[in-house]
C-alpha cells in the first residue's frame, strides 16, 4: 500500500508541475498592459514567423530598427548627449579662459540652457566639435564610458544608462527571440552610444547607426590610431536615417520604432517597402512616471508623424495607458 501511495503521490506532483509550467512561463512583454498596442505588436511578430502565412518574413529579412532618444531611453529635460557636452565644457573650461566671454560656452558655464538654445547652428556645431574632437577613438570611448559611470539624471538621480524604458527592452528581447536582428538608428553620436548599447539593450556596437564626425588614420609613435577631427561627416536624423539604414544595413527593415518627427522619414521608408513593415511611435503621455510632451517640445517634437499615424496605420503607443512600468527601478 505504501508503495502504491508513493507512486500516486509522485504522479500527482508530476501532473501538478506539468499544469503549472505554462502558467509559470513568463508571457512576452510583461511590462506592457493588455491593450491593443501589445496585441498588434504580438500579432505582427507571430505573422512574421508563421511559414506559409501571408505575413511571413524570411529570417534574413527580419530586421528591426529603433530610434534611441525618447524611444529606448528618456530624452528630457534634454538629450543625454547634451548633458555630456555640458559636462565636458565645464571640465575643459580651465584650459580655455576665453570661453568665459564667448558663446555658446559662456551660457554653458553659467548653466543657462535657454542661452545655449538661442545660439545659431554654427555655434552649436562648434560646441560639439570642441567636446567631441581632438582625441583618438579609443580615448573618446574611455571619456564616454567614464561619464556614464558617474553622471546622473537631473530628475531621478539615476545613472543615465538606467533611464532606459523597460517595455522597450522587453520588446527588443521578444523580437530577437523570434529571429529579428535589432539595430539602433539615432541622430545621436554613434561613438557616444556604442560604449553602452550592448549593456543597456543587448545591441552590439556594429548594430548601432548614428551621426558621425570625420576620422583619419594616423601613426602616433608608430602606433596606429584613428583621430577624431572637428568636422561633421554624417547626420543620422530626418531623411538621413533611411540613408544610414541603406548604407550600413543594406536591407529595408520590416519593423521600426520612433517617437518624434525626426523619425518620420524612417517610418515612411520602412512601411513603404514591399513587405509593408510595422511602424510604432512612442507617445510621451505620462507626466508622473516620465514626461508628457509632443508638439511643442524642444526635444523630441512629435507633430507631423502624430498627425499622419492613423492614416498610415502606424501604431501610437500611449506610454501612460499601454505601459505597466516605464523604468526597471520603479517599485
pLDDT digits (tens, 9 = 90+) for 115-156: 888 887 788 888 999 999 999 999 999 999 999 999 999 999
CA gap 208, 96 in Å, rounded: 33
SS3 281: strand
Looking at residue 275, its pLDDT comes to 78
- Whole-model pTM over 0.85: yes
* Mean predicted confidence (pLDDT) in 171-191: 98
* Calpha distance 41→296 (Å, rounded): 28
Q: Cα–Cα distance between 193 and 147 in angstroms, integer?
A: 12
Average model confidence (pLDDT) for the chain? 93
Query: How is residue 303 written as a grid cell?
Result: 507633430
Cα separation, 40 vs 38, whole angstroms = 6
Q: What is the pLDDT of residue 21?
A: 47
Task: Report helix, strand or coil for 249.
Answer: coil
Cα–Cα distance for residue pair 210/173, rounded to 1 Å: 21
Which has the closest alpha carbon to 330: 172, 166, 154, 170? Answer: 166
Report residue 25's pLDDT band, with 50, 70 and 90 as the boundaries: low
Q: 319, 328, 326: which is closest to 35 by C-alpha? A: 319
| CA–CA gap between residue 230 and residue 218 (Å, rounded) | 15
Residue among 161, 165, 143 at smallest CA distance from 152: 161
**Span 208-216, mean pLDDT?**
98
What are the chain's domains?
29-77+152-322 (3.40.50.1000)
Mean pLDDT of the 199-213 span: 98
Say if residue 77 is preceded by a cis peptide, omega within 30 of 0: yes
For 81-124, the pLDDT digits (tens) are: 999 999 999 999 999 999 999 999 999 999 998 888 888 778 88
> For residue range 288-309, what is the model confidence (pLDDT) as tens digits?
999 999 999 989 999 999 999 9
pLDDT value at position 320?
99
Amino acid at each position: 500500500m505504501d508503495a502504491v501511495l508513493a507512486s500516486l503521490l509522485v504522479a500527482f506532483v508530476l501532473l501538478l508541475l506539468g499544469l503549472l509550467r505554462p502558467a509559470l512561463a513568463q508571457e512576452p512583454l510583461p511590462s506592457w498592459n493588455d491593450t491593443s498596442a501589445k496585441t498588434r505588436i504580438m500579432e505582427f511578430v507571430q505573422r512574421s514567423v508563421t511559414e506559409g502565412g501571408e505575413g511571413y518574413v524570411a529570417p534574413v529579412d527580419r530586421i528591426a530598427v529603433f530610434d534611441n532618444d525618447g524611444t529606448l531611453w528618456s530624452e528630457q529635460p534634454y538629450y543625454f548627449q547634451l548633458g555630456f557636452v555640458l559636462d565636458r565644457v565645464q571640465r575643459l573650461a580651465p584650459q580655455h579662459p576665453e570661453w568665459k566671454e564667448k558663446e555658446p560656452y559662456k551660457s554653458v558655464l553659467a548653466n543657462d540652457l535657454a542661452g545655449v538654445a538661442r545660439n545659431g547652428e554654427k555655434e552649436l556645431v562648434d560646441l560639439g566639435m570642441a567636446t567631441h574632437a581632438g582625441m583618438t577613438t579609443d580615448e573618446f570611448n574611455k571619456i564616454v564610458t567614464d561619464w556614464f559611470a558617474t553622471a546622473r539624471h537631473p530628475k531621478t538621480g539615476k545613472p543615465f544608462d538606467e533611464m532606459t524604458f523597460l517595455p522597450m527592452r522587453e520588446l527588443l528581447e521578444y523580437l530577437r527571440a523570434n529571429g529579428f536582428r535589432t539595430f539602433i538608428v539615432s541622430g545621436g553620436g554613434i561613438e557616444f552610444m556604442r560604449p553602452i548599447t550592448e549593456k543597456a539593450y543587448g545591441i552590439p556596437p556594429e548594430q548601432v547607426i548614428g551621426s558621425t564626425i570625420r576620422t583619419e588614420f594616423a601613426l602616433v609613435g608608430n602606433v596606429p590610431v584613428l583621430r577624431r577631427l572637428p568636422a561633421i561627416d554624417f547626420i543620422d536624423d530626418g531623411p538621413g536615417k533611411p540613408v544610414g539604414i541603406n548604407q550600413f544595413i543594406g536591407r529595408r527593415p520590416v519593423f521600426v520604432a520612433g517617437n518624434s518627427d525626426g523619425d518620420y522619414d524612417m517610418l515612411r521608408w520602412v512601411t513603404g517597402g514591399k513587405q509593408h513593415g510595422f511602424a510604432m511611435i512612442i507617445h510621451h503621455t505620462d507626466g508622473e512616471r516620465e514626461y508628457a510632451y509632443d508638439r511643442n517640445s524642444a526635444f523630441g517634437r512629435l507633430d507631423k508623424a502624430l498627425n499622419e499615424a492613423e492614416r498610415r496605420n502606424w501604431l501610437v503607443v500611449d506610454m501612460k495607458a499601454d505601459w505597466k512600468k516605464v523604468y526597471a527601478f520603479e517599485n
